[in-house]
A and B are shown apart, each in its own frame.
Chain A
Amino acid sequence: MNILTNIAPVKIMLATLAAGIVLLPAMAGAQVLVPSGSFHSVMPEVKGEPVKVDSFYLDTTAVTNKKYNEFLQDHEDWQPQNIPSIFAHKGYLKSWKNANSDDIVNPDHPVTNVSWYAANTYCQSIGGRLPTLNEWEYSAQLMDFDSPSDAQEFASRLMSWYSTVDNENIGAVGSSGIENSHGIKDQFGLIMEWVEDFKPVIANDLSLDCGTVGRMQQLGNAYSYAASIRYITRMSFTPKSTNSTVGFRCAYDVEKITEKEASL
């Protein structure tokens, strides 16, 4: 049964979402192929026209503190004491007690307080890129529920999550218990994530208005309401923003991964 918009079934563990924390092995670095398809965005769009998305690879989890620290070792320019102020606000990596130490606190937790510039550079440094907004949302919708009430329950919990994100106690990657039908974890329930075009071009027209939420109700369900909150939040960011609940994961063009495999 396709409650959200489309596509293949996956069982969401609502009970584990409620519990908040399930210790799954951290799959940092693993990528999976998200096959091409289409989805209905919550953004105002041509009526009935789904957004087409080509296949791409996506990290199964967000980039961790450990991985980001490895990046910093090879990219001294992006260390907190060196980063030019045009690339990040002062809160850059502020959650790291000592950003110069090898002892990374919470190595398996998602890195946060990183600017869009930093996230972008990280992904490029490993041959990837940030996922586009459409890729991210499409992947996030690759879920299914047993019944409309399960979907409603999920969306309702998602809304509550926005009001209780505890940035002091964000869990390890993979700990949200939420994954899509291809094994991509934590697109909800852990942190918010940077995407390449985080501020849609139509943001100007929407201008974060009171009516925005209403116009984003095209899917007519609680999920679209929850997703609209995410779009609206993104629209207020600037590329220098560093927030304690915003991290990222990387995406990869199919050709690049294929080339890499061919060269092995």
Chain B
Amino acid sequence: MKPLTLTYTILIGLLLSGIANMSYAQTDEYKMDGMTFGMPEAEVFTEDYDGPPVVGDHLSMLPNLEPLDYEGNKTHDVRIDIIAQEIEVADGVKYEAWTFGGTVPGPVLHVKEGDRITFTMKNRSDEEVTITQPTKEGSPFMQQVAQNNFMKAKEATMPMPHSMDFHAGTVAKNDKWRTIAPGESIKFDWVANYPGSYIYHCGTPSVLMHTAMGQHGVVVVSPKDGYDTGYEIDKEYVVVQSEYYLKKGSGELFQYDYEAAQNRNPSHVVFNGHQTILHDQPLKANAGDRVRLHFSNNGPSGTSSFHVIGAIFDRVWLEGHPFNEMRGMQTVLLGASSSATIDLIVPEEGKYILIDHEFADAEKGATGTLKAGPRKK
């Protein structure tokens, strides 16, 4: 090639790169109402990282909540990589999911109000990543998936641009929630200023498609002084409702149904990513236990009228914030991306069915079981 042409090509290339690397005006860190705002600018870079896709101490697979084992606040180093993965969401229904960490929903992150999170994410959608091999460097999430691969996760690739939007974070989206290309990584800090349960999802257009393809999860931010109840709870679980919009493709796999997603007509509405998982592996408790559920409706588009058959919600904190306490609720109505922290007393030995009382959704799969053993206290 002629040197002149090459020079021209390089110049245009640099120009196009330049557009990709916009810089953002940043605000210095400051405090307001005891909360921390003003995070440093996100870093976008390329790295050779090929280790476990989920790294960090307080990340677990649904419905577990990794306990907080520290006093005061701390900084969490968290990695959740974006990977494509073939998964099963109902008997015989498999599709190539776009995921955070390899499952749908992605790993549950548990932090405390006021904690800082240094978050790293690599867009590995163009890389085959195995999530079912236990690794030393991985998080508890990786061990749990290795022991219980109920989604039958298998490596897949589907290169697409992606991003991360933590609802638990208070930052400028055009910086921290930036879209990164396959092969790129992003790193940024955020502070969990508000207690509660918050969804995270991919914010890259089409946000409907990205979320429906599986890119969502939950961060539980425990209040620094706990909930003002005067009692201890016996069991704590995370339950996430979400919808799939799938239709049979030409081969074995199902694929995204654009029209169904536009028309809010899901093929499956599920708890914890799978149509029957909460029946196959029921939540467990005993009569007389106080059970706490962190329930999040991750959508992308549906509402949820969450109810537990045979129980009344003793206390409900809308969005999980300790100030939003309600008592004696039969059903909690949650729009897409809303959550509630729910305490209930398990009345007696037996089965309690978790259900979206919008029965059309229940019959598409939004049900689960809480199985209670005999009273032990």
Contact = CB atoms under 8 A, between A and B. Distances in A.
Interface string A161-177: 01111011000000000
Given A160-B256, A210-B207, A244-B126, A239 B183 contact: no
Contact of B46 (A89, A121, A160, A165): A89
Contacts of A18: 250
B16 A117 contact: no
Nearest to A78: B1
B206 A225 contact: yes
B25 interface: no
B204 interface: yes
Given A159-B258, A201-B19, A238-B17, A228 B205 contact: yes
Interface string A205-233: 00111101100000000100110110011
Given A167-B158, A203-B19, A232-B205, A121 B6 contact: yes
B121 to A, nearest CB: 14
Nearest to B128: A168
Given A167-B158, A199-B16, A236 B179 contact: yes
Interface string A232-258: 110111111111111000000000000
Contact of A124 (B5, B96, B179, B208): B5
Given A117-B13, A163-B96, A222-B258, A236 B207 contact: no
Interface in B137-196: 157-161, 163, 174, 178-183
Interface in B57-72: none
Nearest to A245: B159
B159 A246 contact: yes
B48 interface: yes
A101 interface: no
Given A163-B255, A167-B157, A232 B204 contact: yes
Contacts of B158: 163-165, 167, 245
Contact of A236 (B17, B126, B161): B161
Contacts of B203: 210
B51 interface: no
Contact of B9 (A19, A121, A164, A238): A121
A160 B9 contact: no
B199 to A, nearest CB: 15
A91 B126 contact: yes
Contacts of A183: none
Interface in B191-245: 203-209, 213
Contact of B1 (A125, A204, A233, A238): A125
Contact of A212 (B205, B249, B250): B205
A11 interface: no
Interface in A124-163: 124-125, 155-156, 159-160, 162-163
B180 to A, nearest CB: 7
A116 interface: yes
Contact of A225 (B6, B13, B258): B258
**Size bracket, chain B contacts:** 35 or more
B144 to A, nearest CB: 27
Nearest to A117: B13
Contacts of B257: 160
A239 B17 contact: yes
B9 A120 contact: yes
A86 B121 CA distance: 23
A208 B163 CA distance: 10
Contact of B256 (A20, A159, A196, A225): A159
B205 A237 contact: no
Interface in B77-97: 95-96
Contacts of A52: none
B161 A233 contact: yes
A125 B258 CA distance: 41
A225 B256 CA distance: 14
Tell me which of B16, B22, B178, B259 has the highest count of chain A C-beta atoms within 10 A of its own C-beta.
B16
Contacts of A199: 16, 19-20
Tell me which of B16, B253, B258 has the highest count of chain A C-beta atoms within 10 A of its own C-beta.
B258
Contacts of B96: 163-164
Nearest to B260: A156
A196 to B, nearest CB: 8
A244 B183 contact: no
B83 to A, nearest CB: 14
Contacts of B9: 117, 120-121, 124
